[in-house]
Structure 1
Amino acid sequence: MTQIETRSWRGVHSELLRRINEREWRPGSAVPNEADLASEFGCARTTVNRAMRELADAGLIDRRRKAGSRVALHPASRIVLDIPIIRLEVEQRNAQWSYGLLTQAMEEAPPQISSKLGLDRGTSLLHVESVHYADNHPFSHEDRWINPAALPGMELADFTNVSANEWLIQNAPYTAGDIAFSAINADQKLAGLLETVEGAALFVIDRITWDKSVPVTAVRLSYAHGYRMNTRI
């Protein structure tokens, strides 16, 4: 791994996952301690700790206090989804990404949003709405509510050129999340934004993230008709 890659816990996580999947670290074998891994990768111990926690949460390693960590003998069968940067997702499809900001304003959150986030009714959140494009064709509609209490000062962020999706991934910590996949029929507004016919079937992702007990954001991503999601196990 390069030094740049190990500045991120995601880079360390990818390397540790590779070692487990390729049986460099066999089931039941001891995992080097965090201090040794941090020295190997040239990164902070906290970076390694975050990567190790993700592996433990995925059921791939067993962590025991004072006994160290071991590769799980019987790994849990789970799919762990990273939150993608939409710009990169478009570019990985060999298309040119572009973006249009529709709304960025403090607004009273609708009851269904404040309820999902565990906030009092009437709480004001930052509402950001935008459309992502692939080769100038609509790719997805991002309808997002952000809790300023989780990121003091972030209401001053300018999402004109950088999407809220990308800004949050780069700047906002999160420890847990809920994600739901569904299909809806395009209403008049979505049909116009995504350049499809009213009633067309759309793939939708609803996601909420928290930093410990503090809600960070709730977003609905509605993808243009014909979108196909790809992931790995």
Structure 2
Amino acid sequence: MRRNSFRDIRTELERRISRRVWEPGETMPGEEALAAEFGAARATVNRALQELARSGLIERKRKSGTRVALHPVREARFAIPVVRAEIEASGSAYEYRLLHRDKENAPGWLRERLGLDAGARTLHVRCLHLADGRPYQYEDRWINLAAVPAAGSEDFGTASPNEWLVANAPFSRAQYSFGAARADPEEAQALRLDPGEAVFVAERTTWIADRAITHVRMVHPPSHRVVTWI
């Protein structure tokens, strides 16, 4: 019989976390119990748990065991920023405006991108982040309600989906893309630009195990710069 590798175990534990088999903050079975379940050595289970801990999905403490992280810390090559903190760190005053919030069936392009089934329900949120009263980022976000059902009851009237997801939706991998584009009429109106004016666009999709969490398109005025430290 094939023995489970640490990758097999890590993937299955990620899947259980994504399906809320264990809720955030809940204590998980110990290494001995997991080793018996998966038919693997404790060292193999330990390695899988170490990787999950490094990704921020779980927390491990001596004597108190292993639990699903309440507020995941992500160790990624490019961290997901909280826009409020980004603006305030620059010394500017932050302002947030909700422009649109509605539950919708995922359109075809989104189903293809996220691997969703026909009829998949999503929460579509469009909002604007401002710095000192000037448009800083137009956020157009789709949230997969099958992966994050709690998002469906959030009104996002005063706090952005960006902040809420960072605190409440752990992810195990992400894809980023950056590029230049021309503002469509809605983006131009929100950012106080002329339609067709050049804008800086960042897109990000996140997953937990094999389940997509969210896809977001973030549009900035042409003066925007991305700065990162390594």
Relative to the length of structure 1, the TM-score reads 0.67
Q: Which residue does 1:105 correspond to in 2?
A: 102
- Misfit runs of 4+, over 3 Å: 42-47
Q: Which amino acid aligns with 1:93?
A: S
What is the deviation of 1:85? 0.3
Structure 2 CA distance for aligned equivalents of residues 192 and 209 of structure 1 = 28
Structure 2 CA distance for aligned equivalents of residues 188 and 132 of structure 1 = 18
CA contact (8 A) 1:129 1:141 kept: yes
Matched, 1:207 2:204: yes
User: Which residue, 78, 88, 91 being the options, matches 1:91?
Assistant: 88
Q: Which residue does 1:143 correspond to in 2?
A: 140
User: Which residue, 144, 165, 169 being the options, matches 2:166?
Assistant: 169
My pick for the range that moved more, 146-155 or 214-223, is 146-155
Structure 2 CA distance for aligned equivalents of residues 154 and 188 of structure 1 = 28
What is the deviation of 1:108? 1.8
User: Which residue, 212, 215, 218 being the options, matches 1:218?
Assistant: 215
DSSP 3-state at the match of 2:149: coil
Structure 2 CA distance for aligned equivalents of residues 126 and 82 of structure 1 = 23
Q: Which has the higher contact order (CA 8 A, sep 6+)?
A: 2
Structure 1 CA distance for aligned equivalents of residues 120 and 92 of structure 2 = 39
Identify unmatched segments of 5+ residues in structure 2: 1-49, 51-59
Structure 1 CA distance for aligned equivalents of residues 89 and 224 of structure 2 = 14
Structure 1 CA distance for aligned equivalents of residues 104 and 149 of structure 2 = 16
Structure 1 CA distance for aligned equivalents of residues 221 and 89 of structure 2 = 17
Structure 2 CA distance for aligned equivalents of residues 43 and 126 of structure 1 = 37
Q: Which residue does 1:230 correspond to in 2?
A: 227
Q: Which residue does 1:198 correspond to in 2?
A: 195
Matched, 1:126 2:126: no
Identify unmatched segments of 5+ residues in structure 1: 1-33, 59-79
What is the deviation of 1:174? 0.6
Superposed, 1:59-98 pairs within 5 Å as 80-98=77-95
CA contact (8 A) 1:115 1:121 kept: no
Q: Which residue does 1:181 correspond to in 2?
A: 178
Q: Which amino acid aligns with 1:113?
A: L
CA contact (8 A) 2:138 2:190 kept: yes
My pick for the range that moved more, 154-163 or 115-124, is 115-124
> Once the two structures are aligned, what percentage of the paired residues are identical?
38
Structure 2 CA distance for aligned equivalents of residues 144 and 184 of structure 1 = 18
The number of aligned residues is: 169
User: Which residue, 109, 113, 130 being the options, matches 1:116?
Assistant: 113
Q: Which amino acid aligns with 1:158?
A: D
Q: Which amino acid aligns with 1:141?
A: Y
What is the deviation of 1:153? 3.1
RMSD: 2.3
DSSP 3-state at the match of 1:88: helix
DSSP 3-state at the match of 1:205: strand
CA contact (8 A) 2:136 2:191 kept: yes
Relative to the length of structure 2, the TM-score reads 0.68
Q: Which amino acid aligns with 2:164?
A: W
91 and 213 in structure 1: CA distance in 2 versus 1, 3 angstrom threshold: same
DSSP 3-state at the match of 2:146: helix
Structure 1 CA distance for aligned equivalents of residues 121 and 101 of structure 2 = 13
What is the deviation of 1:152? 2.5
Q: Which amino acid aligns with 1:116?
A: R
Q: Which residue does 1:10 correspond to in 2?
A: none
Structure 1 CA distance for aligned equivalents of residues 222 and 125 of structure 2 = 22
